[in-house]
Structure 1
Amino acid sequence: MNMSYEQMVELASSGLVAAGIGEKAAFETAQFLSLAELDGLASHGLARVSQYAGHAKNGRIELAPKIKVRPFKTSAALVDACDGLAFPALRFATDLSVNLASKTGVGLVAVTNSHHFGVAGHYAEAAARAGYISLLFGNTPAAMPMVGGSKAMFGTNPLAAAFPVQGHEPLVIDMSLSAVARGKLLVAAKKGESIPEGWALTADGKPTTDPQEGLKGLMVPLGGDKGALLALIVELLVVGLSGSRFSYEADSFFDAKGNRPRIGQLLLTIDPGLSGGNVFAGRMRDFLKELSADSGTRIPGERRFKQRASGFKGGVNVSEVVVGEIQTGIRQSWSNS
């Protein structure tokens, strides 16, 4: 089903409000989910509306939280998402980190008592568009084992980095530390499709092409042991600085019932003027010129921005199964009111 950005925001927002989520949080969340659809990242798009609605109905999130902030020294702060949806808190934390970096050169903001935060690159991109280097790390409910282990200890633990490019779109690197984002299994499960072998394992550690079994089991780390160790670094940084829950303490996002995840995120925003004047901009320009001279090279973020521009003009195709789920939730809300 082809939908414009505005139509997606309206549908997603209505679906979240129907589940009892406050209008402001629902609208801001819908904006990010719709942006993910424009970027071609359906695993972090409208497919999440029914998931979040299930969490709302089962008390896994606070419906209308008031974000709290605790400053720490001159260039760091802790943002408490207060068990709400993560998007409003991450938007606030990104703005705060940029503000701190503009004053002190560096802005470090940890987010605690948080939830699933969508596409990590969206926040880093926003800081880069303001002229800053941005790094973002987050932990997620346990889905991957430690090296040599068979028990889920830490999540797919996404990370993103964005670098401003004078006169051009920023360079954005965005990845989870599993072989693929776990949300891709969610999309495949909703469509009744299989997944490639090598994406996930069953609960007893066997390779599977069934996304439902993969969601119940383990994700395969990106690059084997190295991916698992990178996920561990993210886990310890995020939890240690935010005081949030470890991944193994948070129940799966893919279950409607469970505890309040209370996971965390960490943003590091840096003023690139350290080397003086326009040195950073010049070095970036030289690097990208050399990189582009290599035929076939793709600049990180480039494809996403092209898809976004195309989506803003002509809309994007959203799964009819996903749209139907959201509409059913809205109708049920009406009949119960």
Structure 2
Amino acid sequence: MGSVAPLVKENKTSGSVKPIVDLTRSDMERVNALILSKAGSDVEMIPEVANHLISSGGKRLRPMLTLATAALFGYRGEHHIRLATSVEFMHTATLLHDDVVDESDLRRGKSSARMIWGNQASVLVGDFLLGQAFRMMVETGSMEALSVLSDAAAVIAEGEVLQLSVSKKMETTEDDYIAVIRGKTAELFAAAAEVGPIIAGATAADRKALRDYGMALGIAFQLVDDVLDYGGDSADLGKNVGDDFREGKVTLPIILAYQRGNDDEKAFWRNAIEGGENDDAALEKARFLLEKHAALADSVDRALSYGEAARAALSGLPRSDGRHALEEVIDFCIARIN
């Protein structure tokens, strides 16, 4: 079969989270303090499980989006701190639940909570964090923000169930898959970016612009993750490279390679994804076929297109440090592939 060529074509995109980190630094210190406070409980296992994941790293991009978009419209109150913390708790809860569903061993480069405390504890602590998130949403007194985030919670769950329904099915289409990641990943990005302008009293048009930005950013983010599963670094990815393949997840690169493959190649994909024949040799062949059919490169192109859609959503906003920070986030999310 020969050696596997570089996984994707050279990507000139660059970007940094530094502008948004700098913009939200003082508020994020308050968010981090509230995270630790609200993860506490008299039930000893709850903070143990929660803090295992909360303290394990992650850039906390989603809560930073809430803080940055509130600042974009001059918000000076306190409620953005609770909403940003709610967003992070929703994200953490979904990670705990996802690791159980996916039977993942690693999360952010460490043993997943389910590997240490078991599936039951992981699910229940995730439920606790969701409960705390909704408590904080109610404390803000903003029914609009509560509506957006509660809708997001339902859509995320729908996206997870939809993913289960298409898992291990090689007839999954690109549209099917985009629907999955729109729900399970991008919806929280969209909600995080929308509740900032809501709490700041922005116009409906500005709210929609930031929601559209978050949605496109979230899809781009997930598509890059899909590519990284076949050639990223475990430490950067936060899980074992090849986990999606071994778990039988049908992601966009596989969909493209399957559609473009000959009969023998399609049989390989069915055996690997649907039949569970996914050892290291199969992973190497999968990577070869993904490269042969430009499936990784084209998935990156899709991510770039969604990145441009996110940038276009910001085009009607006045130029400012806040808008620049949000634009840099787009480039950063895609540049992870380099």
More helix per residue: 2
More strand per residue: 1
